[in-house]
Structure 1
Amino acid sequence: MADELELLRSADPVPADGPYLGDGPLDQQAERRLHRLLHDHPAPAPRRRTRLAWGLAASAVVATLVSALLFTGQTTAPAVAAPRPLVVRADSTPVPLDTIARRAQDAAADGSPALRQGTHVQSWSLGMSDRRAPITLPEERIVRWHADDSHTEIVVATDPRHPGRPVLRDSDGEPRPVEDGHVLSNRTYPPSWSDAPPRSTPPHDPARLRAYLQEAAYSDGPLNTPELLDAVDVLLDHWTLGARESAALARLLAGMEDLRPAGQVTDRLGRRGQAYVYDDSATRRMLILDPATGTVLGLETTFTSAQPEYGVKPGDVMEYSAWMR
C-alpha cells in the first residue's frame, strides 16, 4: 500500500503551494480565542503565557540543540499528521482513569524518571482563513534550560509522515513550502525573576498541583474539565513531568467525571496509549495517557461540527500536541 500511495503522490499534478491553499492562518492567540468561542461554558479569562524578552542566542548552544533535534531520529518516527483525527481501536477495552491513577502511583514509587524543566513536543495546528481552505502546519519544538536560568528554544518545520519532503509553512500571510528540518526560529531567553506557575516547580501532591494549575490558568475558582486540559497544555509547554508529577496529575484527571475513557489509540508518534474524551457542542478533546505510568502522551482537539466560514468540516483536527522526554 505504501508504494501505491507514493505513486499517487508523485502523479498528483497539483503543486504544494497551489492557490487553493489558505493564505492566512490564525496566530496562536486567535486560534485559542476561536476555540473558547466554540465552547458552551463561559470563556475563562485570557490565558497569559510568560514570554520573556529574548536576547542574542549563544551559537554553540543553538548548534547543539539543532543537532539534537534534527539528528536524534525523533523527526522520523512514524506518525499520522492532522487533519485526520486519531481513531480509537474498536476492539479495545476502555481503562478507567482511576485505574491509570493507581498504576501511575505504583510506577512512581522510586521517583524515576525525575521532573525536568523544558519540553520536547511535536505539534500540528490548523491554520484557518475566511477566504481559502485551511492548512495544517506541523512543527517540532525543543526547549532546554541552563544553569543560569536562561533557556533556549528551537522550532523546526517537520512532518514525520514524510521525512525529507518539503513542509508547508505560513510566511507573510501566504503558505509556502520549506525544506524538512528548516529552522523556523532559535532564541535564547535571559533569566527571569518570575516564580509564578508555570515557571515555578510543579508539586507532586494532587491537592497542591490542583492549586498550582488553577493559578497557572488565572482562574478564581475550581477548574472545569476544559480549563484543566488547557492548564495541562500550558504546564507541558514548560516542564517534562517526572513519575511523581504524572501520578499526581493522573489523580486529578480521575476526578473529572465528564472526561470519559474511550479505549486504546496509537498516537502520532506511533505510541500506544489510552484515550480520554471530553465533548462539547462543537469540539472533542482527546487526552492520550500512557496506560502503565499515566504520562501524558498527547492532546487533540477535533471539530465535531462544520465551520463553513473557515472551510472546516466535522472531524478536522484543530490542534494536536505529542510530548516526548
Structure 2
Amino acid sequence: MTDELDLLRRANPVPDDGHRFGDGPLGDQAERRLARLLSDPGTGRRPLLPAGRRPRLAWALTAVAAVAALVSVLLVGGPAATPAIAAPRPLSVVADSTPVPLERLAERAAAAGAEDATAARRGTHVQSWSLGMSDGEPPVTLPQERIVRWTPDGRHTELVVATDPRHPGRPVLTDEGGEPRLVDDGRVTGRRTFPPSWSDAPPAAHPPHDPTRLRAYLAETANDPLRTTPELLDAAAQLLDNWTLGARESAALTRLLADAGGLRPTGRVTDRLGRPGQAYVYDNAPGVRHMLILDPSDGAVLGLEETFTTDQPEYGVRAGDVMQYRAWIR
C-alpha cells in the first residue's frame, strides 16, 4: 500500500551522493579568485565562498526545508486537512471473486466446531487502527498491537506496542504522552500487570458455545439488547477483545451473525495481516459502512472495518476514510 512518505522517499529530492550538493574540491577559477581575495588587505571584507558555491548551498537548504515542511504537513495536517500518514485505506474485494453466502460459512464453522474441541482462552491478541478526531485538528490514525495474557491464578498482563504491519521497520505514529508523534516500530507504549481478579459476569465469564446463550452473553457484555446488526458487531468485537475463541464458540458467533441479517457477501479479500478472508458488508447504518472479514475455512472472525460513508468536514474526514479497523490473531 503506497502512502505519501513512500512517494517522498522514492523521489529523494536531496540524495546523499548528489553531485550538486557535495563539498568537492574547488575549480581553477574559484582557486584564483580566493587567492586574490586573501592577498588584498584593503578590501575590508571577509573572504567569500567561491563562485557558484553559495547558490548551490542555498538551493540545498531550501530543498531540505521544503522536505521538512512537507513531512510536517503530512504528520500534523495543514490548511487542506491532509489525511494522517498512518491512515489505512479501505480494504478492497478481489475483482471477480465469488461471494460465499454467510449461511454456508456458518455451516462450515459448525462442522469445524464439531471436530475441534479446543476451548476458548481468556486473553487476546489484536492489531488495530483507530482514528482520533477533534475540532480544529486533522484526524490521526494510530496503529497499535495489544496482547493480553491471563495466568491460572487470575493475574493478567497487558502489553501495547506501536507497530504497523503494513510497513515493518518504519516509524509509527502514536499518541504516547497525549500528543501524536513518531516513534520507532515496536516501541512499547504500555505495559501493565494486574492483580488476581475473578468474576462470573460477562465478559469475564467463559463465553458459551450455544448461539442463544451466546447472544444473551453478548447483550449482557454490551449492556444492550442488541436490536441491530451493528450493535451485534460491536458486542462481538468486545468479546474478541477479551477472549480468543475456540472452534465451538466461534461457530456459535458465526451462526449469530448469519441470523442477524443485513450482512451482504461481497467476495474475497486479503486482510491487513495478509490473511485470506471472505468479506460481508453492512451498509444500512447512517454514515458508517461495516465490513466483517471471516476465515473462509472455518468462519472465524479475522477482522472488522468501519468506514465513513459521508463527509464530516468538522472533523476533517471524508467518505471512504477508515474510522477503525481491528484484526484478531488466534
Give the TM-score of the pair, scaled to structure 2.
0.75
Runs of 4+ aligned residues of structure 1 deviating over 3 Å after TM superposition are: 5-8, 14-17, 19-23
Please point out which of 254, 277, 284 is paired with 1:273.
Answer: 277
Question: How far apart in 2 are the matches of 1:175 and 1:16?
Answer: 17
Note the 1:133-152 alignment, pairs <5 A: 133-152=138-157
Map 1:238-277; keep pairs closer than 5 Å.
238-277=242-281
Map Cα deviations across residues 212-247 of structure 1 (whole Å, 9 max, x no partner): 11111102x353201100100100010000100111
Q: Tell me the distance in 1 between the aligned counterparts of 2:262 and 2:205.
A: 29
After TM superposition, the structure 1 = structure 2 runs for residues 101-116 of structure 1, keeping only pairs within 5 Å, are 101-116=106-121
For the 8 Å contact 2:226–2:232, the answer to whether it is kept is: no
Consecutive unaligned residues in structure 1, runs of 5 or more: 24-80
Aligned with 2:319 (options 314, 319, 325): 314
Q: Which residue of 2 aligns with 1:68?
A: none
Q: Which residue in the other structure is 1:168 paired with?
A: 173
Pairwise CA distance, 1:90: 2.3
Give the structure with the higher percent helix. 2
CA RMSD of aligned residues (A): 2.2
Report how far residue 127 of structure 1 moved: 1.6
Q: Distance in 2 between matches of 1:205 and 1:7?
A: 50
Aligned equivalent of 2:97, options 92, 110, 135: 92
Query: How far off is 1:113 after superposition?
Result: 3.7
**Could you tell me which of 58, 67, 72 is aligned with 1:18?**
72
Partners in 2 of 1:19 and 1:6 — Cα distance?
Answer: 15
CA 6–186 in structure 1, closer or farther in 2 if over 3 Å, else same:
same
Q: How many angstroms apart in 2 are the aligned matches of 1:288 and 1:305?
A: 22
Cα 1:190/1:173, change in 2 over 3 Å: closer
| CA distance in 1 between partners of 2:226 and 2:251 (Å) | 20
Q: Structure 1, residues 168-221: CA drift from partner, whole Å, max 9, x if none?
A: 1124443211111110010011122322111100000111101111111102x3
Amino acid of the residue matched to residue 132 of structure 1? E
Report if aligned partners of 1:16, 1:177 keep a CA contact under 8 Å in 2.
no
Query: What is the deviation of 1:17?
Result: 6.5
**1:118 and 1:259 mapped to 2: Cα distance?**
27
Task: Show the 5 A alignment for 1:122-271.
Answer: 122-219=127-224, 221-271=225-275
Q: Distance in 2 between matches of 1:157 and 1:171?
A: 9
Please give the alpha-carbon distance, in whole angstroms, between the structure 2 residues aligned to 1:311 and 1:303. 12
Give structure 2 stretches of 5+ with no counterpart.
14-66, 78-85
For residue 295 of structure 1, what is the amino acid of its counterpart?
Answer: A
Secondary structure, counterpart of 1:160 in structure 2: coil
**Aligned partner of 1:218: which letter?**
N
**1:98 maps to amino acid:** E
Question: Contact 1:22–1:127 at 8 Å: present in 2 too?
Answer: no
Bigger mean CA deviation after superposition, 85-94 or 10-19:
10-19
Structure with larger Rg: 2
2:72 maps to amino acid: G
Q: State the distance in 2 between where 1:225 and 1:286 align.
A: 12
SS in 2 for 1:128: strand
| Percent identical residues | 66
8 Å contact from structure 2 (residues 87, 140) kept in 1: no
Structure with the greater relative contact order (CA < 8 A, sep ≥ 6): 1 or 2? 1
Match for 2:197: what amino acid? S
State the one-letter code of the partner of 1:97. Answer: L
Q: CA deviation at 1:89?
A: 1.5
Whether contact under 8 Å (1:22, 1:174) holds in the other structure is: no
Secondary structure of the corresponding residue to residue 134 of structure 1: strand
Contact (CA 8 Å) 2:120, 2:249: kept in 1 or not? Answer: yes
Change beyond 3 A, Cα 1:173–1:21: farther
> Counterpart of 1:108 in 2: which secondary structure?
helix
C-alpha change, 1:18 and 1:173, in structure 2 (3 Å) is: farther
The letter for the 2-side match of 1:209 is L
Q: For 1:148, what is the secondary structure of its paired residue?
A: coil
Kindly provide the amino acid, as one letter, of the partner of residue 92 in structure 1.
Answer: S
Q: What is the count of residue pairs matched by the alignment?
A: 266
Aligned match of 1:62: none
Letter in 2 for 1:265: V
